[in-house]
Structure formats: structure tokens, C-alpha cells
Amino acid sequence: MAARRRSPGPGSAAAHLGESLPLERKLALYRWMRLTRTLEERLVALYRQTKVVGGLFRSLGQEADAVGSCFALEPRDVMSPLIRNMGAMLVKGATPVEILKQYMAKGDSPTRGRELNIHFGDIGPAGTTRGFLGQISPLGDMVPVMAGVAMSFKARGEDRVGLVYVGDGATSTGAFHEGINFAAVQRLPLVVIIENNGYAYSTPTSKQTAAKQFVDKAIGYGVPGEQADGNDVLAVYDVTKRAVDRARAGEGVTLIELMTYRRKGHAEHDNQSYVPPGEIEKWAAENDPIDRYVRVLTEREKVPTATLAEIDASVSAEVDEATEIAERSGTPAPLDALEGVYAEPPRERPLWFREGADVSGLGQERPEGWGTWDASKGGAR
């Protein structure tokens, strides 16, 4: 039977966790969480100024979950984030400038305005890229994809580990089941993190599964499962590091359930009218991951508050500078939408299927040269 262990909950805050990390690394965890929150607050301001194109997804209250888990990876490892894992992407090397440009759909953003928010990636052979996959919207689908990534590591004998995040809602998909089952059977070096934040859109966890807890699903897959307090950054680091070490040692998949809470709506448009009164306020007051970590650092680690204030100031300056850089960039050229989508040069003439057809009455024929035909030469701009 799979082993199950629980990390201590709020109150027993990290009494035995992350102790081995040097203070410099503990402060780095603080900085990543603060950067995540400050950058998201800036994005909210830009959203309200209509400078963000599309939805804005917050991870308010979940910063420890994203940051602490990704912090357990090595640069050569590969991670697949979700919309609430901006913190993990920052830890893995995504920059605030890239994220701001991406959210604002700038022409020189990572996807040149063709994808929104944090849907962009950087993957390749170890040492050549930062190792995070571009996100896709279909829930759960990245589990089989990451099983494939982990299988490639195993097949090539590479000392690399994959980590995939899924939400509580995503566990209800067939893809989640197929992916984790395959990875478990193949003993692939994969860590699967279920972020239990209480909701999937407006669906509460109680309507998502009949299981008492998501970590119980590990038993059915025959893999170790661990549940941890997702708002305790050192606990998150600890549980993920154990799983990463197991994967690296050839012991296969671990399923982790991180207990956290989504304090904002699904996206900024969601007014959370379905949330019971007082619930959000309670989590904000009693279980904010940054507040809790500040207490750990100042009370247990004896870090002066001035040191944390300096980090906060440097984060604010970094976000200000990144915003200025991102705001200076222009919008994409219209034909950018077609670049990198089709083969270049094209194998077929554009609209070959219309050749010889009488389309005179349609009034929607594109001129010769429309599309990638001329885009790469710049001729059609």
C-alpha cells in the first residue's frame, strides 16, 4: 500500500521543515513569493486600465504552493504550470518583463500576442532552456504530456525530473487518470501536484469528488501520496523535495496534495458570489502564506524586519522597471498571427482548394499572397 504522511497544519508552522536550507535560500523563497504577489497586483492595476488583454488569473493566497514546490527542482528539470503557478514560472526563470508583455499581448512578448496571460514555455535539452512548458487550457491534459516528457528522460538515461500541477477540478478528467496511471506503471520520474484550493470555477471540492481527500487517490495508482499544508512554504518545499528525490532515485511517481485556498475568483471577472460569507476573510486573516512566512523568518530565524523591507523595496523597483519596459513595446503586426503556425515556405499554395472554384459571389476572397506566403519576407506588411 502507498505510504501517506501529513505535514503539520497552520499553527505548527514548519517546526521541522526546510531547516536544512541556508538562510540565503530561505530569504530567496520570501522574495519569490513577494515578487509573485507584487507582480500580480501590478497586473490587476494594468487590467483595470484595460492594458491587459484577456483574463487575469490570480494566485493570491497560493504563492507558497507554487514557489515552494518549484524551488525543489533543479534547473535541468521540467515543470508544467497552470494559470495559478506564475510563482513557479518565476522560480524557473520566467521574467516579470516577459510576463507583463505576455499579459499585454505585446508584439515582442514570448508568443507575440498570439496567446495570453502566462501561456508560454521554454523547453529543450538540459542546459539550453529554463524548462517550463507552455500551458494549455484543457484541464488534466498536461499529466499525460508530462508523463511523456518524463518517459523521454528515462529512455535517454537523463538525470531529470518532471513536475506537473493540476487543480482539484482537473483530477476529474480522464486525462489525469490516464496520465498518472501510465507514469506510475512505467515508474517514470514524475511528481504530480494536486493544488486543492477548494474550488474549480464555482464548484466546491465537495462536489468534485466523493473521496475524503485527493491524496487517497495515490493508493489506487500504487504510488506514494503525501498531503501538505500548501500555505506553509517550507512544508511545500519539503514534501516536493522528497518526491523529486524519489523520482531522481528511480522510484517513480509521487502524488502530492497541497491544501490551499483560492482567495480570488476563477479570474478577475468572477465575483465569487457562490462562496459562503466570511470564508475568504478567514483565510486572509489566519492563513496568508506570506504573513505566515514573515512570522517564521522574524520569530524563528530572527531575520530583522528591515531585511524583509529591503527585499520588498527591491521587488517593487523590479516590477516598476519591468512595467515601464513592457509598456514601451508595441502591438503585434497583424500577420504575426500566422507566423510559426504553418510550414514556411508552404508546401501548398494558399487556398489551393479554392482554385478553379467560382467564389466571385462570396465577397470574402483574400488577395494572392495572403498569409504566411509573404509574411516571412515582410512583403505583405
Ligand X SMILES: Cc1ncc(C[n+]2csc(CCOP(=O)(O)OP(=O)(O)O)c2C)c(N)n1
The contact set with ligand X (CB under 6 A) reads: 82, 84, 137-139, 167-170, 173, 195, 197, 199-201, 262, 266
Instruction: Find the length of the chain.
Output: 381
- By a kind-dependent CB cut-off of 5 to 8 A, residue 173 interacts, out of Mg ion, ligand X, none, with ligand X
CB of 84 to ligand X, least distance (A): 5
In angstroms, rounded to a whole number, what is the distance separating the alpha carbons of residues 87 and 91?
Answer: 6
Angle made by CA atoms 12, 7, 77, in degrees to the nearest 5? 125
For residue 164, give the 3-state DSSP assignment. Answer: strand
Angle made by CA atoms 323, 315, 232, in degrees to the nearest 5? 125
User: Of residues 39, 200, 236, 308, which one binds Mg ion by CB under 5 A?
Assistant: 200
Closest CA to 68 of 332, 258, 333: 258
Q: Which is nearer to ligand X, 55 or 371 (CB)?
A: 55
CB of 199 to ligand X, least distance (A): 6
CB of 139 to Mg ion, least distance (A): 10
- By a kind-dependent CB cut-off of 5 to 8 A, residue 138 interacts, out of ligand X, Mg ion, none, with ligand X
Using an 8 Å Cβ cutoff, are 115 and 102 in contact?
Answer: yes
CB of 209 to ligand X, least distance (A): 11
In angstroms, rounded to a whole number, what is the distance separating the alpha carbons of residues 176 and 189?
Answer: 16
Using an 8 Å Cβ cutoff, are 255 and 216 in contact?
Answer: no
Q: Which is nearer to ligand X, 200 or 319 (CB)?
A: 200
Q: Which is nearer to ligand X, 84 or 292 (CB)?
A: 84
CB of 173 to ligand X, least distance (A): 5
User: Of residues 197, 227, 240, 254, which one binds Mg ion by CB under 5 A?
Assistant: 197
CB of 262 to Mg ion, least distance (A): 6
Closest CA to 103 of 62, 44, 59, 31: 44
Buried b / exposed e along 328-365 (16+ C-beta atoms within 10 A): ebeebeebbebbeeeeeeeeeebeeeeeeeeeeeeeee
257 in contact with Mg ion (CB under 5 A): no
- By a kind-dependent CB cut-off of 5 to 8 A, residue 137 interacts, out of ligand X, Mg ion, none, with ligand X
- The residue nearest Mg ion at its CB is 167
CB of 14 to Mg ion, least distance (A): 24
Residue 208 C-alpha cell reads as 468534485
Q: Which is nearer to ligand X, 115 or 195 (CB)?
A: 195
345 preceded by a cis bond (ω within 30 of 0): yes
- By a kind-dependent CB cut-off of 5 to 8 A, residue 84 interacts, out of Mg ion, ligand X, none, with ligand X
- By a kind-dependent CB cut-off of 5 to 8 A, residue 297 interacts, out of Mg ion, ligand X, none, with none
333 Cβ contact partners less than 8 Å away, ≥ 6 residues apart: 107, 381
Q: Which is nearer to ligand X, 231 or 372 (CB)?
A: 231
Q: Which is nearer to ligand X, 201 or 274 (CB)?
A: 201
Closest CA to 56 of 346, 303, 268, 234: 268
83 in contact with Mg ion (CB under 5 A): no
CB of 201 to ligand X, least distance (A): 5
CB of 72 to Mg ion, least distance (A): 21
Residue 76 C-alpha cell reads as 535541468
Using the structure block, give the residue that is written with the C-alpha cell 474550488: 199
Q: Which is nearer to ligand X, 13 or 86 (CB)?
A: 86
Using an 8 Å Cβ cutoff, are 374 and 345 in contact?
Answer: no
- The residue nearest ligand X at its CB is 167
In angstroms, rounded to a whole number, what is the distance separating the alpha carbons of residues 334 and 341?
Answer: 14
Site for Mg ion in 140-179 (CB under 5 A): 167-168
Q: Which is nearer to ligand X, 110 or 169 (CB)?
A: 169
Q: Which is nearer to ligand X, 137 or 364 (CB)?
A: 137
| Site residues, Mg ion (CB under 5 A) | 167-168, 197, 200
